[in-house]
Structures are given as structure tokens and as C-alpha cells.
Amino acid sequence: MTQKKINMKVDIGGVVWKNPVSTASGVFGFGEEYSSFFDINALGAICLKSLTLKKQVGNDSPRIAETSSGILNSIGLQNPGIDFFIKHELPKLKKICKTNIIASIAGSSIEEYAIIAEMLGSNVNMIELNISCPNVKEECITFGINSKSVENITKKIKKVSKVPLIVKLSPNVENICDISKAAESGGADALSLVNTFLGMKIDIKNQKPYFKNTFAGLSGPAIKPIALRMVWQARLATKLPIIGLGGITCTNDALEFLMAGANAVAIGTYGFFDPLIWPKIKDGIEKYLIENNINDIKNISLTNSY
């Protein structure tokens, strides 16, 4: 018997992905690091580490602490800066990468975000607007915490972006539905959610906060149920394509996000435990569709009927 052809393609803000699996920003470097583990072109997209206008050395150590079900990180957006990335990292990446490239950008002012977006031009396939980085003191965290600021920065960066714009939402907000609508009103082409939750750790030996910035970003399996709830809420609030992320560790987790209304998923922290998790989840989703006689990935969402 001939097996039905399964459609794994998804449209994210006008950009077609061959399948709904991407890396999450912050854990995948600039792509080259993981290319020795698997063919990164097997994925629908790769999202790179957030870029700032100038080189950032990041926060002082300690930067990472393991929790019972995830990690706390206070990296502080360490990166070589947009100019170095364009001149040195991007040419190397394009030699090995034929799938969609998402550049994540961050800044301490709207003007910085705009300059980075303009410099990127159409050299990448999409831009992710990181307005929700809780591990950076007094910088981009302020842009993602209320509807007015989210709509404002989205509108201004959308004007200068030459490629579709993904707005990455913070979970550390009062109402994720209002924030989602604000990004849509500002002209976002897609959303990604959620970023890390604010957390902290105490150094009981020295009797002080473990991280210099006191707070850090919590990611990993611990946040998955909350992230899933927020994706469901965002889907009911907006028609924008959604990239769901937060604590995904296996195919079943990814399927839950897709059923909750995400059009695609991104995996981050678990890549530190299993560097092959991305292709495993991609293959797992396809296997599920075949076994359940679902011929199109778009038919998996439970929220289609709501």
C-alpha cells in the first residue's frame, strides 16, 4: 500500500519552512557549533544567538546554575556585535546553511534595534525581535513588559526591517493576550513565546544571591506547562503565526505545543543534554502524523475549532 504524502511545511510570516522545527535563540550559537552533530539543513529554521549593536562580554561569573528541572542563566547577551557577525560569522554560516536563518536582535534603545535591523537588511530570512531578556539589567527587558511599549517598538522596527519580523514575547507580564495583540497591532509578522521566566538562586554558603544581577532566566522542563498555557492563550488572542517554546524535551512536548496552536516549535535548553534533539523531534512529529493518518501538519491544532 502506498503511504500518503505528509505535508510538514509551515508558513511563518510569509516564509515557508520545510518543517515546523527550529532552534531557540541563545543555545545554538551561530550554527557552526552544532553542524558537526547533525545536518542543520534538516530543520525548518535555525535561530541564532541574540545580536547587539556593539560587542558584549556578558555578565560576570557565575552565569549558569542547574535546577531540579532546568537551568538558570545570567549570560547577559554575550556576542561579538552586529558588525563582526555580518563580516565574519554570517559568511561562514551561509556556506553550510541552506535552511531559513533567523537573526535575533536585542538592544538598550529602539534606535539600537533599528540600526541592527537595517544593517542585517535581507542577509537573513527573518528577524526575531528579542524584547524579553530578563538576564540583562535595565536593557531590553523594559520593552516587553507592557502593551504600549511592545506595540511601539514593533511598529518602529517593522518599518526598517527588510524581512519578516518575529516578536519574542516575555512570560513575565500581566496578560500575555494583551501583549500578543499589541505585537500584532504593531505589525509583527509572527510571534515566538515564551522566553525565560525570572528566577533566582541563593548562595547559602556565602549568604547572598548566587548571581551578580540577583535574578536570572529559568528555562527547561520546569516551565513547559506554563509556556504551553501561554501559547494557547496567545493563539486565541491573535491570528499571527506562533513559534512555541519553553521546556520542550521530546516529540510529545512539541506535539502539545502544536496542538495548543503553535505553528512551529523551537527547542533550546534540552540541546545541552542531547545535541541531536532537534532532528529527533522533527522525525518524531512526522512519524506521529503518519501513524495517526494526518496528512498535513496544519490539521494538528486543537484551537482550529475554537
Q: Which residues have a catalytic role annotated?
A: 133
Q: Nearest 5 degrees, angle CA 172-CA 113-CA 78? A: 70
CA distance 150 to 182: 6
CA distance 163 to 297: 25
Which residues have C-beta within 8 Å of that of residue 184, sequence separation ≥ 6? Answer: 191, 238, 239, 240
Element (H, E) at 237: helix 224-237
CA distance 168 to 142: 13
CA distance 235 to 170: 15
